[in-house]
């Protein structure tokens, strides 16, 4: 049974994560911290040891390799082939696919969950790497511009050349999408974590589980308090749950995160509407 002190401790840890600079966030460790919110009794030392083991193997197998393409190939071979960690094509909407602890146990996950593993391992051996967020999909970039290699972590760690990338873009964007540099902008660490949790929140909303969706939005506003839109959705869910005071507080927090006049007017209108219902 989870105690009140356990919940308070996890909340405090997530709040501290929301205060650190984006560059200081270790994606894998932050994803593990988020997962413990649903697995309070989980042994993080075991999960961290698994990650360390993968890092040591990557260091050994990539020793002396300097080309970006070769590094990406070794990374993909280690995760997707040797460790058999890949995308869950049979049960994509399984909520465990968006849980980093479950990824390490089941070896199956969503594109964003897998991308965190790829990027975290690459960074821990000193390589440049970043998640690339597309609509409904996430790729992994190894290397810095202009020399990079893209990996599709969900598709067995497939290395993408121009043709493969064009096929992915056509699938996620629709039609014969032209390659645009805007499509390949890396996600920040905080945006990656928000995307991880929002996958779970979206599924909760679809099934009508307002309470679960609200819990997940509370976590997202803790780790990314500057993301204005998260507060709006949190306030909406709080209103649906009948928590009018909490909804007003969330809208007040949202006011503090934006200087956009139109958004601020929308927030004030929402606050006035809530005042009339209370």
Give the model's confidence band at 220: pLDDT under 50 very low, under 70 low, under 90 confident, else very high.
very high
DSSP state of 142: E
Largest CA distance in the chain: 67
pLDDT value for 117: 98
Q: For the chain, what is the domain count?
A: 2
Residues 249 and 179 in one domain: no
Res. 230: pLDDT tops 60: yes
Residue 233 CA neighbour count, 13 Å, CB half: 20
Distance of CA 69 to the CA centre of its chain: 25
Res. 3: pLDDT tops 60: no
The helix or strand, by DSSP H or E, that contains position 151, with its residue range, turns out to be strand 149-152
- The whole domain housing 245 covers 226-277
- Tell me: cis bond preceding 181? Omega within 30 of 0 counts: no
The residue from 124, 150, 184 where one domain ends is 184
* 214 in a structural domain: no
Give the model's confidence band at 184: pLDDT under 50 very low, under 70 low, under 90 confident, else very high.
confident
More confident site: 275 or 215:
215
Tokens describing residue 32: 């593990």
* 215 in a structural domain: no
Distance of CA 99 to the CA centre of its chain: 10
Q: What is the pLDDT of residues 55-92, one digit of tens each?
A: 999 999 999 999 999 999 999 999 999 999 999 999 99
Give the model's confidence band at 5: pLDDT under 50 very low, under 70 low, under 90 confident, else very high.
very low
Q: What are the helix (H) ranges across 62-188? A: 68-76, 100-106, 111-124, 162-173
pLDDT value for 147: 83
pTM over 0.95: no
Cα distance between residue 84 and residue 49, in whole Å = 18
Residues 92 and 178 in one domain: yes
- Measured in residues, the chain has a length of 278
């Amino acid at each position: 049974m989870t105690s009140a002190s356990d919940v308070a401790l996890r909340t405090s840890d997530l709040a501290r994560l929301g205060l650190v600079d984006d560059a200081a966030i270790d994606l894998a460790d932050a994803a593990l911290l988020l997962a413990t919110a649903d697995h309070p009794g989980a042994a993080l030392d075991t999960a961290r040891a698994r990650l360390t083991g993968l890092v040591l193997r990557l260091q050994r197998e990539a020793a002396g390799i300097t080309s970006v393409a070769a590094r990406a190939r070794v990374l993909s071979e280690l995760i997707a082939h040797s460790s058999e960690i890949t995308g869950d094509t049979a049960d994509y909407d399984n909520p465990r696919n968006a849980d980093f602890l479950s990824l390490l146990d089941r070896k199956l996950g969503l594109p964003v969950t897998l991308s965190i593993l790829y990027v975290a391992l690459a960074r821990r051996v000193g390589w440049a790497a970043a998640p690339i967020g597309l609509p409904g999909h996430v790729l992994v970039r190894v290397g810095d511009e202009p020399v990079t290699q893209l990996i599709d972590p969900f598709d067995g760690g497939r290395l993408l050349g121009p043709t493969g990338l064009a096929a992915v873009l056509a699938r996620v964007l629709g039609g014969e999408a032209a390659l645009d540099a805007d499509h390949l902008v890396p996600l920040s660490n905080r945006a990656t974590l928000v995307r991880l949790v929002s996958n779970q929140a979206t599924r909760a909303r679809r099934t009508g589980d307002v309470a679960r969706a609200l819990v997940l939005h509370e976590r997202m506003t803790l780790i990314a308090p500057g993301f204005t839109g998260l507060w709006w959705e949190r306030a909406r869910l709080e209103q649906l749950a009948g928590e009018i005071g909490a909804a007003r507080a969330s809208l007040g927090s949202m006011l503090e995160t934006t200087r956009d006049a139109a958004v601020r007017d929308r927030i004030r209108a929402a606050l006035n509407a809530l005042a009339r219902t209370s």
